[in-house]
Amino acid sequence: MAKDLNKVMLIGRLGTEPELRYTPQGTPITTFRLAVSRQWRDSEGHTRDETDWFTVVAWSRLAEICGQYLHKAARVYIEGRLQNHSWDEPQTGEKRQRTEIVATDMIILDGHPSGDEGGNRQPRTLPSDTESSIGFGDEDIPF
């Protein structure tokens, strides 16, 4: 029997700050808009740009990570699946539909997940008692 496939892979930039909220049961959900741009040359040789916007939804632990480390303009890789929602507009009775990306994986690609542009970030250093906690110093390594 053939299996179906619903998989999306996108690289783009956040167009909004991620919004972290919780369901009544306490499950974290983060949503944000992702801009994915592409370039091509038209028949006259001019470079053209087009940007598509996607709503991304992350659940549970991934939602917490996205809410904590992502920021507007961050460049990210998102992997997930498409999900459609349909409803009738209460006031007009009009049928509405929305498609979103349900994220299953996320990789930060721009190297400054906290919104820091990198200019004043301090390198991460080990505590000064690292030598004693390991049990030997650099001079004890036999090579």
What integer is the mean pLDDT of 21-41? Answer: 95
pTM over 0.85, yes/no: no
Domains of the chain and CATH, by start: 8-39+49-116 (2.40.50.140)
The pLDDT of residue 119 is 39
What integer is the mean pLDDT of 23-36? Answer: 96
Provide the b/e sequence for 43-73 (b: ≥16 CB within 10 Å).
eeeeeeeeeeebebbbbeebbebbbeebbee
- What's the half-sphere exposure (Cβ side, CA atoms, 13 Å) at 48? 7
Q: 92 or 24: whose pLDDT is higher?
A: 24
Let me know: does 131 contact 139? Beta carbons within 8 Å: no
- The separation between the first and the last C-alpha atoms of the chain, rounded to the nearest angstrom, is 58
What does the pLDDT look like over 44-92, one tens digit per residue?
988 999 999 999 999 999 999 999 999 999 999 999 999 998 888 888 8
